[in-house]
Structure 1
Amino acid sequence: MHHTMERSSIAAAGKRLALLVLIAVGAGLVGCASSGYDRGDGLAGTVGHKVVRTYFATDRMLTHDPDPRKMFTEAGSEISYGVCEVSIPPDHDVGRLESPSVWRLEFKENPDRHVVLLETWVKPKNEFYAGLANRVAQSQGKNLLVFVHGYNVSFEDAARRTAQMANDLNFDGAPVFYSWPSKARESLYFVDRQTLERSTPRLKAFLADVFAQSNAENVYIVAHSMGNQGLTKALAELREEDPGIKSKLKELIIAAPDIDTAVFKEQIAPGLVAAAQNITLYASSRDVTMTLSHYFNGEYRLGDTRGGVPVIPGIETIDASNVDTDFYAHSYVGNSKSVVMDLSALIQSHARAAQRAKLKATKAKGGNYWTFEP
């Protein structure tokens, strides 16, 4: 009995250690931005940077603080709508979310060097959708891009990543992000998961309005990590209520999804395939966050290919294990040039995996999946 208790203690300690590492590396798509941008720091009149306008919906609580970084809290509320302006520096590299670095002796954000949230305006719902529809109408294909972030992401970081991705994808249309009230703290993984569950009905309501009021004929949705838990549930339920959304949902991209693989295959995938014209899954065997999530949750995550690359009818799976990315290999959908370029080909030309450069087909039980060639 002594040995049994000892093994149980070791197992429990191992799980606690896994959780500590998990919350240390985070599961969000974006890193934390510096809050040192000073609008009175000689930046007025700079013309080197590009400004990207993004639309947003959020069920974070509005504070009315004029600082765009403090305008919304981590608390949940009813949906607010608005517009953000984000800077893209002139020497921006595809796949980078430039931020101040102490190694470069940078202690404040500078729009000519960094991706910075410059302004945020809250709009009435009707004005928001009128502006969104107008921007959609200006695009050649009446296009709209929706981004849903993952765990440990602030409103500011969601805005910055959305603008960077829209810029890097050369997206012709209206970029919009939905920011659920993540606590944006590494230690609150499970709190974020519960928060997302509470936010999912509001996310679903937002998506319903997007399909009904944006006038978009081609809707592209990108969800990352934990954000896929809310998005997939919302879309499956929405499709049951309105099967017509499939005619508008051109591409659904689920990247590094922190979802139980077996649950997804058995309970979620059929509804998603019925809701979207095309679905692409990006996963990796090098994703440290997925590895730790698997250890702590006890089951392989959909974004983790170590247990086998998931081949699912109606979904094209891309194994991103070979792409260049950061040490944790979790944020590749935004910070890997190879993945961003692949996404660009997917969205710009609607090319399927077999038609896109740098992808190699691999035979597996149930069909093919694709890998990035070295």
Structure 2
Amino acid sequence: MAVTIYFATNRKVVKGGEDAEIGEAFHPDNIDELRFGKVAFAGKDLFKKDLADFMDKAKISLAPERLDKDDAARSKLGSAAVFDAVREDMLKKGDALIFVHGYDHTFREAAGRAAQLQQWLAGGGKDMTLLLFSWPSAGAGVGRRTYADDRRRAEASGAALGRAILKATDFIRNTPRAERCDGRIHLLCHSMGNWAIRGAVQAMRTFVGDNIPPLLDEVILTAADEDDDTVQARHKIAPLLRGCRRLTVYYNHQDLALKASDYAMGNPDRLGRSGPRRKADLSDKVAVINVAPKIIWESKGANAWAADPTGHQYFRNNARVRQDMVEVLNGKLDEEFLEKKERRVNDIGSYWRLT
């Protein structure tokens, strides 16, 4: 069994072609320069394995690209080739998911996480085409210096991610109606990947103002290493609400990685640890899910935390969270969750707890 992940990246291409290698530095010409391709992994249930067991066996293929400065119509774009392949996959599978990874990931690690996520969700009943946006995290380990460096890299990569979203929107607009698929496109950002989507939103605003193109159906911000007012602040992520049908925040107040971001790094309260700062002015498009009861309070035994020792990776390894995410990605309305109170309890308004 194999899984194929499509990607866009502003990382430096170390080696191109069918046996490509992608590095940890920015693209040498421009930080918002994009290259596209795909990564293939062999094996099933990769989410049950350590990344080290399979990521080095990945087959990375860079989409060929040839730019004609004199006649743009004669250019061969890697983005067009990948988007067309995604379209073909979506005709078979239905929906697609854009995934933006977090802190401390090499390209191969990010691609491996994307493959794990794809198979994890497919195992829960949501088999989707997966597109990875990989920003140039250094993958140099965890520490104050590497954190600050990666955060700068994520923020600077917003322009590239914004370009990728706008290019995808243009591709769909220029595709004849008879050739389009009817699948939905979703977005999932984990940890510091939420910092990159903030940069993407603000970069897109320089081109389209607040009219962010409505490309996305469900947006999921999980374990977000972002300020707790970001979904309400116009200069942060709030304009993304114009470009999606619904935005769901998953948070865990015992997330040790975000505790470190709070205290050691001197950041404001993190969205992924406390949820949005103010309830009064929260958009009706936003749903907030407290996952702590299923991750912390019911943990028992000496090995209870073995699968997620920091409480930060639940989006890809906690079965109850996956169940909720699959229902969200399938478009289940908030009021429909009230019909099965054993799964989710309504705290107040758009605030929920997993049970």
TM (normalized to structure 1)?
0.73
1:327 to 297, 309, 313: 309
- 2-side partners of 1:173 and 1:134: how far apart? 14
Higher relative contact order, chain-length normalized (CA < 8 Å, sep 6+): 1
The aligned counterpart of 1:35 is none
The aligned counterpart of 1:62 is 13
The aligned counterpart of 1:221 is 187
Shift of 1:346: 1.8
The aligned counterpart of 2:160 is 202
- 1-side partners of 2:184 and 2:200: how far apart? 19
**SS of the residue aligned with 1:183?**
coil
- 1-side partners of 2:57 and 2:248: how far apart? 29
The aligned counterpart of 1:23 is none
**SS of the residue aligned with 1:245?**
coil
**SS of the residue aligned with 2:186?**
strand
- 2-side partners of 1:263 and 1:127: how far apart? 33
Shift of 1:98: 0.5
- 2-side partners of 1:85 and 1:166: how far apart? 12
Which structure 2 residue ranges, 5 or more long, are not aligned? 28-32, 66-76, 173-179, 296-306
Change in CA separation of 1:65 and 1:152 when aligned onto 2, cut-off 3 Å = same
Change in CA separation of 1:137 and 1:310 when aligned onto 2, cut-off 3 Å = farther
The aligned counterpart of 1:190 is 148
Change in CA separation of 1:73 and 1:116 when aligned onto 2, cut-off 3 Å = closer
- 2-side partners of 1:221 and 1:244: how far apart? 14
Q: Look up the equivalent residue of 1:262 and give its one-letter code.
A: D
- 2-side partners of 1:263 and 1:221: how far apart? 16
Shift of 1:337: 1.5
- 1-side partners of 2:94 and 2:311: how far apart? 33
Q: Look up the equivalent residue of 2:333 and give its one-letter code.
A: R
- 2-side partners of 1:144 and 1:306: how far apart? 26
- 2-side partners of 1:310 and 1:117: how far apart? 46
Which entry has the higher C-alpha Rg, 1 or 2? 1
Check whether the contact 1:223–1:255 (CA below 8 A) recurs between aligned residues. Answer: yes
TM (normalized to structure 2)?
0.76
Which structure 1 residue ranges, 5 or more long, are not aligned? 1-49, 101-107
**SS of the residue aligned with 2:15?**
coil
Q: Deviations over 1:140-189 (max 9, x none)?
A: 57532110011101111111111221222224443110111000122300
Q: Deviations over 1:296-319 (max 9, x none)?
A: 325211111289796732210011
Check whether the contact 1:282–1:320 (CA below 8 A) recurs between aligned residues. Answer: yes
The aligned counterpart of 1:368 is 350
**SS of the residue aligned with 1:299?**
coil
The aligned counterpart of 1:350 is 331
Q: Look up the equivalent residue of 2:132 and give its one-letter code.
A: F
Change in CA separation of 1:236 and 1:340 when aligned onto 2, cut-off 3 Å = farther
Alignment of 1:317 with 2:317, yes or no, is: no
The aligned counterpart of 1:88 is 43
Change in CA separation of 1:205 and 1:168 when aligned onto 2, cut-off 3 Å = same
Change in CA separation of 1:134 and 1:123 when aligned onto 2, cut-off 3 Å = closer
Report the count of equivalent residues. 304
Change in CA separation of 1:269 and 1:307 when aligned onto 2, cut-off 3 Å = closer
- 1-side partners of 2:94 and 2:204: how far apart? 22
Change in CA separation of 1:298 and 1:222 when aligned onto 2, cut-off 3 Å = closer
> Which is further off, 154-163 or 293-302?
293-302
The aligned counterpart of 1:47 is none
**SS of the residue aligned with 2:24?**
strand
Check whether the contact 1:80–1:122 (CA below 8 A) recurs between aligned residues. Answer: yes
Check whether the contact 1:88–1:116 (CA below 8 A) recurs between aligned residues. Answer: no
The aligned counterpart of 1:279 is 247
Identity of aligned residues (%): 22
RMSD value, Cα: 2.9
- 2-side partners of 1:235 and 1:279: how far apart? 14
The aligned counterpart of 1:253 is 220
The aligned counterpart of 1:290 is 258
Q: Look up the equivalent residue of 2:63 and give its one-letter code.
A: K
- 2-side partners of 1:253 and 1:199: how far apart? 19
**SS of the residue aligned with 1:54?**
strand
Shift of 1:244: 6.5
The aligned counterpart of 2:98 is 146
After TM superposition, where is structure 1 displaced by more than 4 Å over at least 4 residues in a row? 65-68, 114-117, 214-217, 306-311
